[in-house]
A and B are shown apart, each in its own frame.
Chain A
Amino acid sequence: MKKAIIFNKVKKNFGKLEALKGIDLVIEEGEFFALLGPNGAGKSTLINILAGLAKPSSGSIKVMGHDVIQDYQNARRSLGVVPQELVFDPFFNVREMLRFQAGYFGKGRENDDWIDEVIEGLDLQEKANTNMRMLSGGMKRRALIAQALVHKPPVIVLDEPTAGVDVELRKRLWQFIKKLNQKGHTIVLTTHYLEEAETLCSRVAMMDQGKVVALDKTRNLLKRFSAKNLNLRLDLKNKKIPVSVQKFIQSSDHSLITFLLEEIAEVEFIMSELKKSKIKILDMELTNSDLEKVFLKLTGSKR
C-alpha cells in the first residue's frame, strides 16, 4: 500500500523551545487518522510543516511520495489543508473564492463541476454567491473546508475542524468527510474532542510536549487502557471516605465520587470498605474507559 504521509524525525525549535522533538509517523493511504493532544503539544506545528507554512529545523516529510520542501509543488497538490482559524477573504463570495483557490492549483473552468459538487456536499448552495464577510461562523467553516477540497487532494488535513461548530453541523461535516474517506481520500484530523476520534478514526496518535506518546488502532488503545470507572453517589453525612479507598478516587463532586479501577475485583474491595465505615450507597454505575481517560493517563503523569 502507498504511504499517504511519512514524517521522518521531524524536529522544530523556536529559539530554545523544542516544539517538536523528532516525530516519526507513517500514515497509510485511505486511513482516517487522528492526531490528538492538548494545546501546545505540537499538533499544529506539525501540520504547518506538512503544509509548508513552517519549515522543520531538521527531518523531512513526504506527502504521497513528494517531499514537502524539495518537491513542494507536487506535495501541495496532494494535500488539502483546512486551517484551524476561521480565516476568510472579505472581498469575495464563496464561489469566487473556490474558483480562485482552484486556479492557484492550475485548475480552470473544467473544474467547475467539482466545485459545484463540493458546494452541494457541504450545503453551501444558498450561500454560494454571498460575500464571505456575511457568513456565520459555521458557514465560514464549511467554506474553509470547501476551499481545501477544490483541487481534489488525495490527502485531506483538518486542523480542529469542529472547534466552535454546533452539534448539528458537526454531524453533517463528519458525514461528508466520512464519504470522502470512503471514496479513497486519506483523512488526518487534529481534534480536542476525543469522542470524535473515538467514533471516526481507525488509528490515533497522541502527542504531548512535542512527542508522539501513543500510536495505535483506536480500539487497541482503548483495550490497552481498559480501565473502568465506578461512579458512586454516597450518603456522606458527617462521614469521611476511608483512607484505604481514597487512592482510587479520580474525581469527586459533592456526593458523587468517581473511582478509577484497574481490575473489576477492586469494586468488591471498595464496597466492603465503605460498608465498614457505614457509608450508604445511594446510586452506582460502572462505565468503560474512553479515549479521554487513556489520554489523561498517558499525559497527565508528567504534568
Chain B
Amino acid sequence: MINFKNEFLGTWTLLKKELLRFWRVVFQTVAAPVITAVLYLLIFSHVLADHVKVYDNVEYTAFLIPGLIMMSLLQNSFANSSSSLIQSKVMGNIVFILLTPITYLQFFLAFLIASIVRGIFVGVCIYAFALLYVDLPMLHPWIIFGFAMLGGALLGTFGIITGIWAHRFDQMAVFQNFVIMPLSFLSGVFYSIHSLPPFWQKLSQLNPFFYMIDGFRYGFFGQSDVAPLLSFSIVTFFFIVLASVTLGMLKSGYKLRS
C-alpha cells in the first residue's frame, strides 16, 4: 500500500533540506557565481561591444547576457547536487537518508528539484543585475523558462551521477574542471558558432551546452544558430538518457549501498 502522505512528506523534507543546505551558504552558492557572471559581463561587453556583432538588431552586450545566465545556471545546478552528495558521502551523513524509507525515485526528485531551483535562482539574480546595465527583450518567456528548467534538470542529474560516482573531492574537481568548464566555455556563450572555423563549428554541434544556450537565447531575441525545436529535442534526449542512468544507479544502490 502506498501512503501518499508519507511519500510526499519524505520527498518534500529531503528537498527542503537540500534547499536549506545551499541557502545557509548563500554567499558561496549564489552571490559568488552572480558576481563572477556580472564581472564577465562588464569586462567582455566593455572589450568586445564595438568589435563583435552577432545578430543585426542585437547589440553584443545583450547577446552575451542570456549565454552568461544559462552558463551560470548550468554550472550551479551541477554544483548543487554534486557537491551535496560528495559532502554527504565524505562526511558519512548520507546514511541518514539511506536508513529511511525514501525510495530511489524520491531521492532523485529531491536532488533534481533542488538543483534546478539553485540554478534558476542564480540565473534570475544575474538577469536582475543585467537589467541595470542593458535593455533586454524577452520575446518568448515560456521558451526561456522551458530551457532553464531543462538545462537545470540535465546538469542537476549529471551532478547526481558524479556525486555518486566520486569518492573524493579531487575526483569531483576533475569533472568540474575538465568536463563542465570546457563544455560551458566552448558552447557559444561569448560568440555565435557561425563565426568559428568549420572544424570547431562541427565540434560545438556535439556539445549539449551549445543547444541549451542557443535555445535559451532564442527565447530572448527570437534568433538562434539552430532551430529551437531541434535544440529542445536534443537537450530532452540528453536529459532522458542521463536520468535513466541516474535512476538505474540509484535503484541498484551503486556505490551507495555496498
Chain A residues within 8 Å of B, Cβ to Cβ: 48, 51-55, 72-74, 76-77, 79, 81, 83, 85, 87-92, 96-97, 99-101, 103-108, 147
Q: Separation in Å of the A115 CB from the closest CB of chain B? A: 13
User: What residues on B are CB-neighbors of A147 within 8 Å?
Assistant: 96
B102→A83 contact, CB < 8 A: no
User: What residues on B are CB-neighbors of A101 within 8 Å?
Assistant: 96, 100
Chain B residues within 8 Å of A, Cβ to Cβ: 3, 5-7, 9-10, 12-14, 16-17, 20-21, 24-25, 88, 91-93, 95-103, 253, 257-258
CB nearest to A100 among chain B residues:
B17
A83→B91 contact, CB < 8 A: no
CB nearest to B22 among chain A residues:
A91
A92-B10 contact in complex given A72-B101, A73-B101, C-beta closer than 8 Å = no
User: What residues on B are CB-neighbors of A99 within 8 Å?
Assistant: 13
CB nearest to A80 among chain B residues:
B99
Of listed A54, A90, A100, A106, residue having the most chain B CB within 10 A:
A106
A100→B13 contact, CB < 8 A: yes
A76→B99 contact, CB < 8 A: yes
A87-B93 contact in complex given A54-B257, A54-B258, A55-B258, C-beta closer than 8 Å = yes
User: Would you mind naming 8 contact pairs between A and B with Cβ atoms under 8 Å apart?
Assistant: A55-B253, A77-B101, A83-B95, A87-B92, A103-B13, A104-B14, A104-B97, A105-B6
Q: Separation in Å of the A154 CB from the closest CB of chain B? A: 15
Measured in the bound complex, the distance between the Cα atoms of B17 and A90 in whole Å is 12
Measured in the bound complex, the distance between the Cα atoms of B13 and A107 in whole Å is 10
CB nearest to B17 among chain A residues:
A100
Beyond known contacts A55-B257, A103-B9, A103-B14: 5 more, CB 8 A cutoff: A53-B258, A73-B101, A83-B92, A103-B13, A104-B100
Measured in the bound complex, the distance between the Cα atoms of B92 and A78 in whole Å is 22
Of listed B7, B21, B24, B93, residue having the most chain A CB within 10 A:
B93
Q: Separation in Å of the A68 CB from the closest CB of chain B? A: 11
Q: Separation in Å of the B249 CB from the closest CB of chain A? A: 15
B3→A89 contact, CB < 8 A: no
A89-B96 contact in complex given A53-B257, A104-B10, A105-B10, C-beta closer than 8 Å = yes
B91→A91 contact, CB < 8 A: no
A52-B91 contact in complex given A105-B10, A106-B5, C-beta closer than 8 Å = no
